[in-house]
Chains A and B, each alone.
Chain A
Amino acid sequence: MKIVKENSKVVPSKGDRLKWTPLKDAKVVPLSTELIKGKLLTSDDLDRTRQTNSNSNNVIVP
């Protein structure tokens, strides 16, 4: 017996949902020393990123 879903919705693709840029409109990103502004992360920054205190037992490189 064939079951037909009457209220099934078409889920928009990820690019549509998140309003990404069409490939044809994507711009090349030039790299320059001015653009590449880094931030030196402290141990506290890393703790905030992983949302836990550091657990040295699990690290790959200390």
Chain B
Amino acid sequence: MTFDYPGYILKFIQKQKCKDNSAHLFTLIYKFYSPVTRYFYVLRAEYHEGEVFTIKFYCKKDRHSDFKYSKIINKGDVGNILITCAHIVPILLKGYPLASFCFIGSRTIDMKSGKVEPVQNNQRFRTYKYLIASKFGTHTFAHFAYDAISSYLLVNRKNIDVEIKERELVRMFSETYLNLPDIII
């Protein structure tokens, strides 16, 4: 897969402040529409201390589901949907030039069998890893992969020492989120 898709237009919806006194400070919420699947999608860019965004998205029809990040939509158009999500990075860099970015591949839940895939190196993570390798170079970001928890971190190279910054962000995440947040069942 080349991921050479145009993607869709991201529409900014709102800035939502987080008032739980955690390192999660606010969320920028966007949405976009896929004419192929005929669904709207919600993209959340959650800003944390240390100038790092976690990027999440789900199909709007599943917004009330506890498993919204884990469901299989199975209507196609994956390339355009993922490229649209990737386009949020240059948009956010304009307002937050020092920002780093984090992605987590949620475990897929097969609702038919009521089964969930393993945490390590899961399907979504493998796809995101391939997409990021194809669409993000090493000039702006240092790339860190965490296969054991299916996560990926792009550390902004404007930080003086990217390895120290990476450890700082890992510490912040592990102190803020005691568990992987989307698989508490």
Contact = CB atoms under 8 A, between A and B. Distances in A.
Interface of A: 12-16, 18, 20-24, 26, 28-33, 35-43, 45-47, 49-50, 54, 56, 58-62
Given A58-B134, A60-B87, A30 B113 contact: no
Interface of B: 2, 4, 72, 83, 86-87, 89-90, 93, 108-110, 112-119, 129-130, 133-149, 151, 153, 162-163, 166-167, 170-171, 173-174, 177-180, 183-185
20 contacts: A16-B110, A20-B115, A23-B109, A23-B115, A23-B116, A26-B183, A28-B185, A29-B183, A32-B174, A35-B174, A37-B148, A38-B166, A39-B144, A43-B138, A45-B143, A50-B133, A54-B137, A58-B134, A58-B135, A60-B83
B113 to A, nearest CB: 4
Given A30-B178, A60-B135, A61-B89, A35 B116 contact: no
Contacts, number: 143
A10 B38 CA distance: 29
